[in-house]
Structure 1
Amino acid sequence: MLFKDQIAFVRQHIRKNKMRVFMTVLAATIGCAFLIVLASVGFGIQQTMNNEILQDEQVTRIQFYDQNATTEDLDKIKQQDHVKAVLKHTTVHYDVTASLKDRDVYTTNSFYDMKDYQAVKGKLFAGTYPKNDKEVIVGYHFAQGLLNEKERNAISDAELNVKEGEQVDYSKYGYQGDIIGQTISVAFKDQGEEGQTLTETFKVVGVTDKPSYDWQRDTSLIFSDQALPMIEKTFTKTEDNISAEYVIHVDHMENVMPLLKKLKDDGYHVYSVLEQMDQINMFFFVFKAGLIFVGTIAVLISSIGIFNTMTMAVTERTREIGVLKAIGASPKLIQRLFLMESAFIGILGTVLAVILSYIISIIVNITMPLILQAATNEDTFTKQAFVFSVIPWQLVVIAATISIGVAMISGWRPARKATKIDVIQALRQEL
């Protein structure tokens, strides 16, 4: 029997039992779609978390924690391939308040070598980099954070009276003029027993770029490290009040992990957020495997329907099988015909399941942020790139292999039964 004749034979018998085959295909479709959609949640959450990490400029940074590092150590690191700069970041651990006329803001501070800092950061949102110890760069929201008592009370009232589903417009508060060129007063206050306070004036010469996320507020102050001596004259320098860390900036994310491994092999204490990503990926590998296992159970349940359909097909076609054997059909051919029928059910169910899964995935990604926004009254889920369901081609291949494989296994036993039917008994069966 030619292959096209085998196909025609299978199609003929499928047409005879359209409703039964339809229900069996439907069961296979639901089982396979459940597997894909369930596993797609794991892929979606993983992609969202990875995107959150990758969108942060921290991915090209390596934290260097060796406080006893010498100049020779730093020079050695700077000479490594793919290293853009080794940036020293100094922080004064005191309460810092910046004031402009009757306005003030509680803020954070950082001290850098401005030449290295400019090489890493590039162009500012506005202004220039400090050229001496009396100039400072401010965060993107610094001016907006400069509030007086009247505005603070107005904000408190607005937050108490805000209507459901609405948000307070903070942009209309704060200093509304051009912050560049203004002279601000910065107070460093020790809350310890000594209670020392240092107040100095600085000229604002630059503003940093807008943060990556809308919810982030940057009111920080960034000084040249030339300003450190005036701090150290007032406060005793210890690791508790003035600390420094080194940040290694790498040219590209792909070069971070090889460099990190080399530095660790050389005995340096270093860390990168990409190490965290490796741990996250390992967790999600196990998580997705668990989801696929649970989804496979649904496919196995649907295989019961395929088994019953094929068993009934063999019983109903006993006389046909006897005729085929009588005219010389081999047991392998008969087995192949029934396996082709079960494979058809599996393939058709898988194709429909993949189409249905993509439709469900699109609907979930559109509706879930809206549902969560309505439930929490927060627009974070609609503004940020949250992905709840992702169906990569690898998942489709895994699901298709499992679904079609289970369909073939379900049809194998009935197909084997068909090859063992006695010819004489089959031909005696009444039509």
Structure 2
Amino acid sequence: MSFKDQIAFVRQHIRRNRLRVFMTVLAATMGTAFLIVLASVGFGLQKTIKDDILSNQMVTQIEVYSEDMTDAKTDAMKKIGHVETVVHRKQLVPMALGELEGHTGSMNTYFTDFKDEQASGFKLAEGRFPEKPGEVIVGSQFAEQLIDESKELEEGEELATYEGKVIGQTFTFSFEGRNDENASAAWPFTIVGVKEAPGKDWAFDGYLYLDESFMEEMESAYAAASKDRSEEEDMPFTNSQVNVYADDLANVKSITQALKDDGYAVYSVSEEIEQIDVFFLALKAGLIFVGTIAILIASIGIFNTMTMAVTERTREIGVMKALGAGPKLIQRLFLMESAWIGLVGTVIAVVISYGVSFAANAVLPIIVDAALGGETGDSFEVTFSVIPWQLVLIASAISLTVAMISGWRPARKATKTDVIGALRHEL
């Protein structure tokens, strides 16, 4: 029997039992679709969490912690393989004030090397990087912390915040509580750049970024003004914050390990993502296992359908054997039929799964937002379902394998049919 005749034989039986085959295909479709949609929730949640992490941080950034960080140590870090640059920021510990056009505010200050900052991907919303002494960069919310306290307020009136354009403006920097006869003169700085706003609305960036060349001068002035204040003798002038930047995300892990080997406490987004991947790998495996149970339940329908097919076609099997058909050919015919049921069910299930996934991602955020009274706002972005091609392959392989196994036993039964008994059989 040619392959074309084998296909015709299978199609003939399927047309003869349309309703039963349809219900069996429907069961296979539901089982496979349930597996894909269920597992896609794990992929969707993983994507949501990873995207949130990557949107909050630079993926190539490695934070390094040490109580005795020095410039020599950061220079040594630059020599580690695949390190793009190292940014060593010194955060000012003493409180400082800034005054701009009658508005004052606390200055959260960093001393840094702007060449290293540029190499790390430091982005400006407007303006440029400092080119001359006395030029500085400020955070995106710098102006919001400058308040006019000179006016007397009436009842219910609030302090006025600075609303002008800061680019090109010159402000006065001084240490809080040091503007007396013992204090050194204040420093004038001109704002030439504004840092790009953080990715999240809740993140606040009102920092002042000074060139590190000013640190020694300011530290000396502060020490002279504070020499009679014993309570501040042990307070450091700055705290170090070191960020190492890899040339590629793929090299973050190796650099992180090298820094750990040198005795540093480090944190990188790759470690967090790795932990998340391990957790979701276990979750997705569990969801696929649960979904496979649904396919196994559907396999009962395939088994029953194929068993009925063997019983109904006993005479046909007897005729084929009498004409010289071997056991392998008969077995192949019934396995082809069970495989057809599994294949059609899988294809329909994949189409349905993508439709359900698209609908879930479009509708569920709206439903959740409505249920919470619209409190989530525009920042509520959750991907409930993602169907990667790997999941489709896994689900298809499971579905087809289960379908073939379900049809194997009835197919084996067909090969053992007695020819004489089959020819006498009447359904």
TM over 0.5: yes
User: What is the identity, as a one-letter code, of the residue corresponding to 2:289?
Assistant: F
2:164 pairs with 172, 177, 182, which one? 177
Matching residue of 1:67: 67
> Pairwise mapping of residues 264-343 of structure 1 onto structure 2 (< 5 A)?
264-343=260-339
Match of 2:198 in 1: 211
Counterpart Cα distance in 1 of 2:267 and 2:290:
36
Partner residue, 1:19: 19
| Structure 2 counterpart of 1:203, one-letter code | F
For 1:348-427, list aligned pairs within 5 A: 348-378=344-374, 382-383=378-379, 385-427=381-423
Once the two structures are superposed, the pairs formed by residues 243-282 of structure 1 within 5 Å of their partners are 243-282=239-278
Corresponding residue for 1:142?
Answer: 142
> In the alignment, is the contact (CA less than 8 A) between 2:307 and 2:410 conserved in 1?
yes
Equivalent position amino acid for 1:14 in 2: I
- Give the distance between the partners of 2:154 and 2:277, measured in 1 at CA: 46
State TM-score, norm by structure 1. Answer: 0.83
Query: Once the two structures are superposed, what CA deviation does each residue of 1:23-43 show, in whole Å capped at 9, x if it has no partner?
Result: 110111011001001111111
What SS does the corresponding residue of 1:179 show, helix, strand or coil? coil
CA distance in 2, matches of 1:389, 1:3: 41
How far is 1:422 from its partner? 1.8
User: Displacement of 1:223 after TM fit?
Assistant: 3.0
- Kindly provide the CA deviation profile for residues 388-426 of structure 1, in whole angstroms up to 9, marking residues without a partner as x: 211111000000000111111111111111122222222
- After superposition, the C-alpha distances for 1:341-364 in whole angstroms (9 at most, x for unaligned) are 110000000000000011111111
Q: Distance in 2 between matches of 1:125 and 1:25?
A: 58
Query: Aligned-pair distance for 1:114?
Result: 3.3
1:102-140 CA distance string (max 9 Å, x none): 756667443323343344345522234457886543221
Matched, 1:223 2:210: yes
- Pair 14,251 (structure 1): closer, same or farther in 2 beyond 3 Å: same
CA distance in 2, matches of 1:248, 1:202: 31
In the superposition, the TM-score normalised over structure 2's length comes to: 0.84
Query: How far off is 1:188 after superposition?
Result: 6.2
Could you tell me how far apart the structure 1 residues matched to 2:81 and 2:109 are?
31
Whether the 8 Å contact between 1:372 and 1:381 is mirrored in structure 2 is no
How far does residue 175 in structure 1 lie from its aligned partner after superposition?
3.0
Aligned 8 A contact 1:87 1:116 in 2: yes
Q: Measure the CA separation in 2 of the matches of 1:294 and 1:417.
A: 31
Q: How do 1:224-239 and structure 2 match up within 5 A?
A: 224-225=211-212, 226-227=214-215, 228-229=218-219, 230-231=221-222, 234=226, 235-236=232-233, 238=235
Q: Which position in structure 2 is the counterpart of 1:124?
A: 124
- Letter of the structure 2 residue corresponding to residue 68 of structure 1: D
CA–CA separation in structure 2 for the residues paired with 1:152 and 1:204: 36
Task: Tell me, in whole angstroms, the C-alpha distance in 1 between the residues paired with 2:156 and 2:142.
Answer: 19
Q: For the Cα contact (< 8 Å) 2:369–2:376, is it kept in 1?
A: yes
SS in 1 for 2:124: coil
Amino acid at match of 1:221: L
Cα displacement (A) at 1:90: 2.0
Structure 1 residues 188 and 70, CA, compared in 2 at 3 Å: closer, same or farther? closer
Taking the TM superposition and a 5 Å limit, the aligned residue runs for 1:37-186 are 37-69=37-69, 71-93=71-93, 100=100, 108-122=108-122, 124-129=124-129, 136-146=136-146, 174-184=161-171
Letter in 2 for 1:395: L
Looking at structure 2, the residues matched to 152 and 247 of structure 1 have their Cα atoms a distance apart, in angstroms, of 47
Q: 1:259 to 1:32 in 2, by over 3 A?
A: same
Whether contact under 8 Å (1:365, 1:388) holds in the other structure is yes
User: SS where residue 222 of structure 1 aligns?
Assistant: strand
Amino acid at match of 1:180: I
Query: Compared with structure 1, are the counterparts of its residues 100 and 68 closer, same or farther at alpha carbon in structure 2 (3 Å cutoff)?
Result: closer
User: Which moved further from structure 2: 403-412 or 104-113?
Assistant: 104-113
AA matched with 2:77: I
Against the structure 1 CA distance between its residues 146 and 377, is the aligned structure 2 distance closer, same or farther, given a 3 Å change threshold? farther
**Per-residue displacement from partner, 1:249-268 (whole Å, max 9, x unpaired)?**
22222222222223333444
Two-structure CA RMSD over aligned residues (Å): 3.3
After superposing the two structures, state which structure 1 stretch, 100-109 or 23-32, moved more. Answer: 100-109
The answer to whether the 8 Å contact 2:71/2:88 transfers is no
Amino acid at match of 1:66: S
Say if 1:266 and 1:152 are closer, same or farther in 2 by CA, change over 3 A.
farther
Task: Tell me the matched-pair count.
Answer: 408
Q: Give the counterpart letter for 2:272 in structure 1.
A: Q
Distance 2:303 2:270 in 1: 48
Deviates more, 1:229-238 or 1:30-39: 229-238
Distance in 2, matches of 1:119 and 1:430, equals 85
Residue 58 of structure 1 aligns to a residue whose secondary structure is: coil
The verdict on how the C-alpha distance between 1:345 and 1:220 changes in structure 2, with shifts beyond 3 A counting, is: same
Aligned partners of 2:154 and 2:401: how far apart in 1?
Answer: 68
Aligned mates of 2:349, 2:156 — CA distance in 1: 57
**What whole-Å deviation, never above 9, does each CA across 1:191-228 have from its counterpart, x for those lacking one?**
xxxxxx99966535121112223454432333333245
**Secondary structure of 2:90's match?**
strand
Q: 1:139 to 1:69 in 2, by over 3 A?
A: closer
Compared with structure 1, are the counterparts of its residues 383 and 267 closer, same or farther at alpha carbon in structure 2 (3 Å cutoff)? Answer: closer
Preserved CA contact (<8 Å) 1:24 1:306: yes
In structure 1, runs of 5+ residues without a counterpart are 156-172, 191-196
CA contact (8 A) 1:10 1:340 kept: yes
CA 95–307 in structure 1, closer or farther in 2 if over 3 Å, else same: farther
State the shift of 1:46 in Å: 1.2
> How far off its partner does 1:370 sit?
1.4
